[in-house]
A and B are shown apart, each in its own frame.
Chain A
Amino acid sequence: MNTEPNAMNESAIQPQATAPSVSVWRVMYWSIRRELWENRSIYIAPLTAAAVFLIGFAIHLIMVRTRAAASHIDLHLNTSHFDPSHMDPSQPQGLLSHYELSASLIMGTAFIVGIFYSLEALYGERRDRSILFWKSLPVSDLTTVLSKLAIPIVILPLVGFVVTVATHFIMLAMSSVMLLGSGANIAALWTEVPFFHVSLVLFYHLLTVHGLYYAPIYGWLLLVSVWAPRAPFISALLPPFAICAVEKTAFNSTYFLTLLEERLMGPGGSMSQHDQAQDFAAALIPHHFFSNPGLWIGLVVAAAFLAIAVRLRRDRGPI
């Protein structure tokens, strides 16, 4: 042991310039894989939602068939409800086609999973003390926080998209099987349903709304999860609730509440509020979305939340 006080500067070992390193992308890849190992609900929950929906859809098809057989109605007419462009607004089922309903169900599930995931992401590792293991590895706090952000804004929308497209495909296949032997035109069913169009709109919606527009929500949840000494769920809800309450009492206004509502509803409301399928694309054309100042303010707020979260994780330890 060296006890000479002035030996410090001369004999200190220099950082190794030639130290082998692992690329940032590789660390990010393994960090995200690690999240998928830990949180299997990321794909199990959307798959379960899809399975539940498909069971319901199968029962629906059997009932339609039974009814049609009983009343000798031409089944071909019933295929119209597969195509949103032929929807009759006066019919309740027409307002929300099965295709939109399944998409909403799967996306809604993915959204809920994203909320709970984000709240737990940087809190669970402190509660189970595993943060000491993660911090013993050469992975920066920035990489860790970004890999955890990637789950709700990239991975969950992608999982939601793939599951939804697969579900739609199975629904079409089920409808075809049901129409077999009924004399209906199956080829027409496959061409009538705007499969590609719906998928594209869905993908765009997931990317923009779930990926970008909701970014401040996930940023806030991650910040709370790294900060909260306990009960991250309550800690996440209390500050917005307090702001609303103070604003209402002091100024008798609900500006902040409206802001939160607008953020949750997405830009220009959710997809299901559009009656006409043709309007989907029109309502969601990129320049409308990207010229929305709310999007950019949201992204700046998200970046600020994340920067604080990264900074806070530096001296976070087990609780």
Chain B
Amino acid sequence: MNVIDARGLRKSFGKTIALDGVDLHVDEGRILGLIGPNGAGKSTALNAILGLTPYQGELRVLGRDPWDERDQLMRDVCFISDVAVLPRWMRVSQALDYVAGVHPRFDRAKAESFLAKTTIQHTSKIRQLSKGMVVQLHLALVMSIDARLLVLDEPTLGLDILFRKQFYDSLLNDYFDRSRTIVVTTHQVEELQHILTDLMFMDRGRIVLNCTMEEFESRYVELTVNPDRAPAARALKPMYERQVFGRSLLIFDLKPDLATSQNIDRQQLASLGEARTPSIADLFVAVVGNQYAAQGAAQ
């Protein structure tokens, strides 16, 4: 079942093309990480999914048209866009009252129990809370809503490492189950690597990589070799190479290349040096960096 279905999604701001024909299909029960440089179109894609911006192309979220039915869609979709969007004048108790008043799927008792684990006072105004506490409050509100899709746009920006860890831990332990779907964008990819089920790279309004984490782990290999073995490793056509402490770090795509009918396997690589699964960040640099290099060569 597809929670999000997008085909040929386009959006431009004047001459800037934010989304250039994006196809996106997200199933129920997945945790998708949307990774890309600033201005890659991630937020625009999420805004289109959330009904915050008009778009061209086909898009259904939980079977609805987000632009025309945002208010109905928000019964089943929650989002945290950016960190500081809770109204600063509001009291914590008022935020609970208000969400309980307008949201049919909000479980106030659940929110109270999440808040009881924090140091947040009901009588505090949001402006008096620290950045970390505001995020805890927002997360407590969102996790108490029985939604089917949760969209997180840079949810932990500017938080210290303890809060970030706690954020994803409670999301996984207290919220996520196989009937829910989470889409998250972040620049702090390392912290996400172990929780994602799907990975998508965006660059300049296009999707440049789209795979499950199982594919990611079986398909990409990072090989560290000593200088004497480097020419042999390079002969296998790595997609990316950089030097680390005098050794070469190469990333290989094990997917058979149809053009050259070349087929490298893991054993072959392991015999040259240390082979392991690359980090998302390294693969991102490999995929997106290559594109810039190719573009530079073409010019």
Binding site for B on A (CB under 8 A): 1-5, 7-8, 11-16, 19-22, 26-27, 29-31, 33-34, 37-38, 125, 128-133, 135-141, 143, 314-315, 317-318
Contact = CB atoms under 8 A, between A and B. Distances in A.
B87 A38 contact: yes
Contact of B102 (A5, A20, A38, A139): A139
Nearest to B151: A136
A135 B71 CA distance: 8
Interface string B71-108: 11111101111101111111100100111011111000
A1 B63 contact: no
A133 B86 contact: yes
B26 interface: yes
26 contacts: A1-B26, A1-B32, A1-B198, A2-B2, A5-B7, A5-B23, A8-B2, A8-B58, A12-B2, A22-B104, A26-B102, A27-B102, A30-B98, A34-B94, A38-B87, A38-B89, A129-B85, A130-B87, A132-B81, A133-B85, A133-B87, A133-B138, A138-B73, A138-B103, A141-B71, A314-B54
B30 interface: yes
A285 B75 CA distance: 47
A7 B210 CA distance: 17
Interface of B: 1-3, 5, 7, 23, 25-28, 30, 32, 47, 50-54, 58, 60, 62-64, 67, 69-76, 78-82, 84-91, 94, 97-99, 101-105, 138, 198, 210-212
Nearest to A40: B89
B98 A13 contact: no
Across chains A and B, which 8 residue pairs bring their CB atoms closest together, nearest first?
A30-B101, A140-B71, A130-B87, A20-B104, A138-B74, A132-B85, A133-B85, A2-B25
A130 B85 contact: yes
A30 B96 CA distance: 12
Given A15-B69, A135-B74, 9 more contacts: A1-B32, A1-B198, A13-B3, A15-B72, A30-B102, A135-B51, A138-B102, A315-B52, A318-B85
Contacts of B101: 22, 26-27, 29-30, 33
Contact of A7 (B25, B50, B76): B25
A29 B100 CA distance: 12
A136 B2 contact: no
B12 to A, nearest CB: 14
Contact of B2 (A7, A34, A37): A7
A137 B99 contact: yes
Contacts of B85: 129-133, 318
Contacts, number: 142
Most buried by B among A33, A38, A132: A132
Nearest to A317: B52
A226 to B, nearest CB: 15
B90 A138 contact: no
A19 B74 CA distance: 11
Contacts of B102: 22, 26-27, 30-31, 137-139
Contacts of A13: 1-3, 28, 62-63
A140 to B, nearest CB: 4
A34 B60 CA distance: 32
Nearest to B79: A136
A148 to B, nearest CB: 14
Contacts of A136: 50, 74, 78-81
B212 A1 contact: yes
Contacts of A132: 52, 79, 81-82, 85
Contacts of B210: 1, 3
A242 to B, nearest CB: 27
A3 B209 CA distance: 12
A19 B145 CA distance: 13
Contact of A12 (B5, B71, B89, B91): B5
Nearest to B74: A138
A230 to B, nearest CB: 19
Contacts of A15: 62-64, 69, 72
B96 to A, nearest CB: 12
Contact of A138 (B3, B75, B198): B75
Contact of B104 (A4, A19, A125, A128): A19
B71 A138 contact: yes
Contacts of A140: 70-71
A132 B47 CA distance: 10
A133 B50 CA distance: 12
A8 B20 CA distance: 20
B76 A137 contact: no
A9 to B, nearest CB: 9
A214 B10 CA distance: 43
Contacts of A37: 89-91, 94
A129 B82 contact: yes
Given A12-B60, A136-B79, A140-B71, A1 B30 contact: yes
Nearest to B60: A12
Given A30-B98, A132-B81, A138-B104, A16 B5 contact: no
A243 to B, nearest CB: 30
